[in-house]
């Protein structure tokens, strides 16, 4: 009996450690990206270049871990048709999400960017209805209205609002919503079951290529013309390593927790980012209207998560017991941006 209790406590401690690791890395990566892109010490205001570096680093490291050292396994079953019809759109929308989301940090505060991200379920639901993956009903319409109203209130309370930054952030939200829709299609309609490491293995090179093309025309000339930016390879390498570590922490959380735990951890992380950014960055000025509106939006997000969990539970647990990592994969949005 004592051994069972000890084993249970150890498993619980490991699970909470993974969740705390995910929250710390996810929040820390957002702050790290903001600092690299905005600080005068680094002087690297190139979100395309930074995101491209992340994807190249991830591609190389995934290849080394899966094909050279073989410490991780890549799921089989990928075909040229699936890669063309599903992986490339996922890679392109993933690149779009990270590029636009990181660019927004040049114009708006981390806290306000996080508040705008709360509109994500609305974008996912609207696109899901358009793709035939979701059904419109009064309950979901009410939840979407609550979330939208909360985000509008939070935006109204923003002191230093910059509409260019808002447009970039909302573009990143649309990109992420599209990515999740394509992920759902890949899992449900194509029948391909991929764990998160396999997804990064296939998606990262595609995202890197999608970022490289606009980087050549939009940022490379500016970087060459500027000429005096202070390139710090150690800092940028550490930033890329943290991004990859975040993806690994997502893999650990998905492997050791339930869908509900993942969603709760995501909400906790959002509040940590909003509150901590007010302490870390001078451009963050939180108001009571900000926080009130964000609280309304988060309440709507919680209702949306609860609705999705009940919907997934009603479908039965047979598929999840066979492929738990693949089923939960679409539930956790990217936190790199």
CA dihedral 20, 64, 66, 232 (to 10 degrees): 30
The pLDDT of residue 316 is 55
Q: Fill in the DSSP letter of residue 85.
A: I
CB-based contacts of 277-280 (< 8 A; 24+ apart in sequence) = 277/31, 277/34, 277/109, 277/110, 277/111, 277/114, 278/111, 280/31, 280/110
The pLDDT of residue 285 is 83
Rounded-to-integer distance, Cα 144 and Cα 138, Å? 10
Taking the CA atoms of 22, 182, 102 and 283 in sequence, report the sign of the dihedral they define.
Answer: negative
Place of tokens 């990592």: 325
Nearest of 199, 175, 200 to residue 103 by alpha carbon: 175
Residue 190, SS3?
A: coil
Rounded-to-integer distance, Cα 305 and Cα 53, Å? 33
Res 297 pLDDT > 90? yes
The pLDDT of residue 292 is 94
Res 207 pLDDT > 90? yes
The pLDDT of residue 327 is 42
Res 12 pLDDT > 70? no
Total residues belonging to the chain: 337
Rounded-to-integer distance, Cα 259 and Cα 26, Å? 17
Res 74 pLDDT > 60? yes
Res 286 pLDDT > 80? yes
153 pLDDT tier (thresholds 50, 70, 90) = very high
pTM recorded for the entire structure:
0.86
Mean pLDDT of the chain: 84
């Amino acid at each position: 009996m004592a051994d069972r209790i000890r084993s249970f406590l150890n498993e619980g401690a490991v699970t909470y450690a993974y969740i705390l690791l995910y929250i710390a890395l996810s929040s820390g990566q957002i702050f790290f990206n903001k600092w690299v892109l905005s600080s005068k010490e680094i002087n690297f205001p190139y979100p395309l270049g930074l995101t491209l570096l992340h994807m190249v680093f991830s591609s190389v490291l995934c290849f080394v871990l899966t094909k050279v050292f073989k410490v991780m396994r890549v799921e089989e079953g990928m075909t040229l048709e699936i890669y063309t019809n599903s992986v490339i759109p996922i890679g392109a929308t993933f690149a779009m999400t990270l590029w636009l989301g990181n660019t927004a940090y040049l114009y708006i505060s981390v806290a306000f960017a996080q508040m705008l991200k709360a509109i994500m379920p609305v974008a996912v639901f609207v696109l899901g209805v358009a793709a035939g993956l979701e059904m419109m009903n009064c309950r979901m319409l009410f939840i979407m209205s609550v979330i939208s109203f909360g985000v509008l209130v939070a935006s109204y309370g923003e002191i230093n609002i910059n509409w260019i930054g808002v447009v970039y952030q909302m573009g990143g939200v649309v990109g992420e919503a599209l990515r999740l829709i394509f992920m759902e299609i890949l899992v449900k309609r194509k029948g391909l079951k991929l764990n998160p490491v396999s997804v990064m293995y296939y998606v990262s090179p595609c995202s890197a290529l999608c970022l490289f093309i606009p980087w050549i025309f939009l940022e490379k000339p500016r970087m060459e013309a500027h000429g005096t930016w202070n390139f710090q390879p150690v800092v940028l390498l550490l930033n890329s390593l943290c991004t990859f570590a975040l993806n690994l922490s997502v893999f650990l959380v998905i492997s050791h927790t339930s869908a509900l735990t993942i969603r709760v951890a995501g909400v906790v992380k959002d509040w940590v980012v909003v509150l901590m950014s007010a302490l870390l960055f001078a451009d963050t000025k939180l108001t009571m209207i900000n926080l009130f509106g964000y609280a309304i939006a988060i309440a709507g997000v919680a209702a949306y998560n609860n609705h999705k969990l009940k919907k997934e539970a009603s479908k039965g647990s047979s598929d999840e017991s066979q492929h738990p990592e693949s089923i939960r994969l679409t539930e956790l949005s990217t936190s790199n941006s």
